[in-house]
Structure 1
Amino acid sequence: MLDIINLASIPVFLLIFVRVAAFFVTLPLFSYRTIPTPFKIGFSFFLAFIMYYTVDASNIPLDEMYLMLLIKEAIVGLMVGLIAYIILAAIQIAGGFIDFQMGFAIANVIDPQTGAQSPLTGQYFYIIALLFLLSVNGHHLLIDGIFYSYNLIPIDAFIPFQDGSIIEFVIDTFNQMFLIAFQMSIPIVGCLFLVDVALGIIARTVPQLNVFVVGLPLKILVSFIVILLFLSLYVVLVRTLFESMFDSIHGLMQLFGGA
């Protein structure tokens, strides 16, 4: 009880709370607008309270370096959560590729979770991916990543920004995101490209047929059929996407810790 009210432990607890709260600002699932802000703050507080007794750190004095430690903790939380969000954004980008070929690019919808506009197909795939993440307890793994981040990033250490490895890692993650988005969209985009080739041949051989009237409904029908056949492969790609997300989180934490 005396340790709980010890004023010397407040700086360490505040550093832990800043990192956990910054995680939940950008982390998928936990950062969405549908989750009330008081719940996020309360969950961050109690999780930081539990983690305080597991973090191996001595009392940190309130000096001029303490503000730098607070900024470092906020950067760590925001960047690690942002890396996970960037990887999951590949689903939205893949949906944008598909909608552009289908003719649905102009019909964006508002994502109630983020408040941003997203493509129809991308939103459909994204909901399936989130449900799959919840079904395999992926949100527990995200919380485990927060909990065990102190094994790689000590609370009293600073981020090694000098060598530029963190910036290169973020750029590689962006490249990986676009590669995954291309892999997820290529079956449907490839089929629609063949439909465009077939419509072009028909337009040359049968000039009386208005391909602009027939083409759009035909491409939508072919897209729905291919998506129905593609869903089983899509689940496999989503599993690979989650593995890449957890590997990226672990790799970024290692770089933050100077490994």
Structure 2
Amino acid sequence: MLNIINVNSIPVFLLILVRVSAFFVTLPLFSYRTIPGHFKIGFSFFLSLIIFYTVDVTVIEIDGTYILLVLKEAMVGLLVGLIAYILLSAIQIAGGFIDFQMGFAIANVVDPQTGAQSPLMGQYFYIIALLFLLSVNGHHLLIDGIYNSYQFISIDAFIPFQNGSIADFVIDTFNKMFLIAFQMAIPIVGCLFLVDVALGIIARTVPQLNVFVVGLPLKILVSFMAIFIFLSLYVSLVNRLFESMFKVMRQLMQLFGGA
């Protein structure tokens, strides 16, 4: 007889469903608006049903503590998915740096996946990164991270908040996001800076030349050439970004589990 028929095991299943559903609210790729809501609900339900048979805890009483466990499960799912999303946002921040130097900062587009405004080059890089994530089965690793979260964070245990290790870890991850964004943007931004220096020298030596008319198309041309040259470097940085994202998710789960 399946354990799911046992009435006493339903509270455990509901806790698992809360954590998995919270994961899909903030987890990259699965939380986007382009994925239908009924698909997210159905996938969360069946994934929770699979995870249910691997959890050691079989019976949890419904009382005042159970409400706290529900809040804990929701917070775990939201924060672990959110920290992965924050780290992946380095791609769009790098695109914002590049757009500012190119002159594309005034031409933001609406990201159909999140519904927010996104820089042109940031959206271009972000789509390439998502395609790269799918090509290396990174979405499988994200689902595997949901499953492995129960090895670090027990379903009937609470998160230790005695020290500020979790807050410090989130702050360090936020700093790492800007560092990765700077590494992605510095080749193109550096080339555009040299173009600005050259235009400044031309403006001083040839005052009759209107550098404001010549400068914008020249910077766009140089930036496209630099993107074409440094695209392989960008793919390598995206690979390191994904490795850092999975590592950060694992470390945060360990902190939540008291490790």
| Interval containing the TM-score (normalised by the shorter chain) | over 0.9
Q: Which residue is 2:245 aligned to?
A: 245
CA distance in 1, matches of 2:101, 2:150: 45
Q: Which residue is 2:22 aligned to?
A: 22
CA distance in 2, matches of 1:4, 1:62: 16
Q: Partner letter of residue 172 of structure 1? A: D
Q: Which residue is 1:214 aligned to?
A: 214
CA distance in 2, matches of 1:198, 1:3: 72
Q: Which residue is 1:147 aligned to?
A: 147
CA contact (8 A) 2:4 2:10 kept: no
Task: Kindly provide the CA deviation profile for residues 58-86 of structure 1, in whole angstroms up to 9, marking residues without a partner as x.
Answer: 30000110000000000000000001100
- The structural deviation recorded for 1:33 is 0.2
Other structure's SS at 1:112 match: coil
Answer yes or no: is 1:181 the counterpart of 2:181.
Answer: yes
Q: Which residue is 2:124 aligned to?
A: 124
Other structure's SS at 2:250 match: helix
CA distance in 2, matches of 1:241, 1:11: 37
Task: Kindly provide the CA deviation profile for residues 146-168 of structure 1, in whole angstroms up to 9, marking residues without a partner as x.
Answer: 00110000000101112011000
CA contact (8 A) 2:27 2:82 kept: yes
- The structural deviation recorded for 1:3 is 2.5
CA distance in 1, matches of 2:178, 2:217: 28
CA distance in 1, matches of 2:167, 2:242: 22
CA distance in 2, matches of 1:168, 1:131: 32
Using the size of structure 1 for normalisation, the TM-score is 0.99
Correspondence 1:3-14 to 2 at 5 A: 3-14=3-14
Q: Which residue is 2:53 aligned to?
A: 53
Correspondence 1:60-75 to 2 at 5 A: 60-75=60-75
Q: Partner letter of residue 96 of structure 1? A: G
- The structural deviation recorded for 1:2 is 5.2
Q: Which runs of 5+ in 2 are unaligned?
A: none
- Give the RMSD, CA atoms, in angstroms: 0.6
CA distance in 2, matches of 1:3, 1:27: 29
Q: Given the superposition, is the C-alpha separation of residues 2 and 221 from structure 1 closer, same or farther in structure 2, using an over 3 Å criterion?
A: closer
Percent sequence identity is 81
Answer yes or no: is 1:39 the counterpart of 2:61.
Answer: no
Other structure's SS at 2:5 match: coil
CA distance in 2, matches of 1:14, 1:250: 23
CA distance in 1, matches of 2:158, 2:3: 27
CA contact (8 A) 2:91 2:181 kept: yes
CA distance in 2, matches of 1:155, 1:240: 31
Q: Which residue is 1:203 aligned to?
A: 203
Q: Which residue is 2:191 aligned to?
A: 191
CA distance in 2, matches of 1:135, 1:73: 31
- Tell me the number of residue pairs that the alignment of Structure 1 and Structure 2 aligns: 259
Q: Which residue is 2:109 aligned to?
A: 109
Answer yes or no: is 1:88 the counterpart of 2:98.
Answer: no
Task: Kindly provide the CA deviation profile for residues 79-110 of structure 1, in whole angstroms up to 9, marking residues without a partner as x.
Answer: 00001100110000000000000000000000
CA contact (8 A) 2:153 2:254 kept: yes
Task: Kindly provide the CA deviation profile for residues 20-54 of structure 1, in whole angstroms up to 9, marking residues without a partner as x.
Answer: 00000000010000001010000000000010000
CA distance in 1, matches of 2:180, 2:136: 20
Q: Which residue is 1:230 aligned to?
A: 230
Other structure's SS at 1:49 match: helix
Q: Which residue is 2:156 aligned to?
A: 156
- The structural deviation recorded for 1:191 is 0.4
